[in-house]
Amino acid sequence: MESWIVYALLSAGFAGVVGVTAKAGMGQISGDLALAIRTAVIFALVAVHTLAGRYYAEAPRLSGRDWGLLAFSGAATMLSWLCYYRAVKLGPVSGVALLDKGSVLITVLLAVWLLGEPLTWRLALGGGLIVAGFLVLTLK
């Protein structure tokens, strides 16, 4: 199995734990405060990892465009998490998590359009199945 697949599966596993532990941990507080706590922990852990691995030495390789795109990605992440935590606070984690995975479709479409990645029949079929799942979840 290719290493990127292993990392993607691990990412999915860790991401699957996020909603459940967040919902369980924010019983008496807002999703906004829960997100702030989570983000502070993430920042500390990423900072330690970056320092320990000396990845900061790569920073001079970044262009202004790279910095801008990474900053935009950070802002989009914050808005995504803010909406996710508010949704988890208000609704069922299982439903929120499934609808949140609509990001997969957006990612695929943007990767094909902006990055020139090929749209294969497998991607199209997988995307169609995700859309079918959304319809099952949202139509009454």
The domains of the chain are located at 3-91, 101-140
Q: What is the mean pLDDT of the chain?
A: 92
Residues with Cβ within 8 Å of residue 137, at least 6 apart in sequence = 95, 98, 99
How far apart CA 58 and CA 79 sit, in angstroms, is 27
Residues with Cβ within 8 Å of residue 32, at least 6 apart in sequence = 82, 85, 86
Beta-strand (E) ranges in 17-120?
A: none
Return the percentage of the chain with pLDDT > 70, whole number.
99
Q: pTM of the full predicted structure?
A: 0.82
137 close to 95: Cβ distance less than 8 angstroms: yes
Residue-level pLDDT at 102: 84
Overall size of the chain counted in residues? 140
Confidence tier at 101 by pLDDT (50, 70, 90): confident
Phi-psi region of 44 (alpha: psi -120 to 50; beta: other; left: phi over 0): alpha
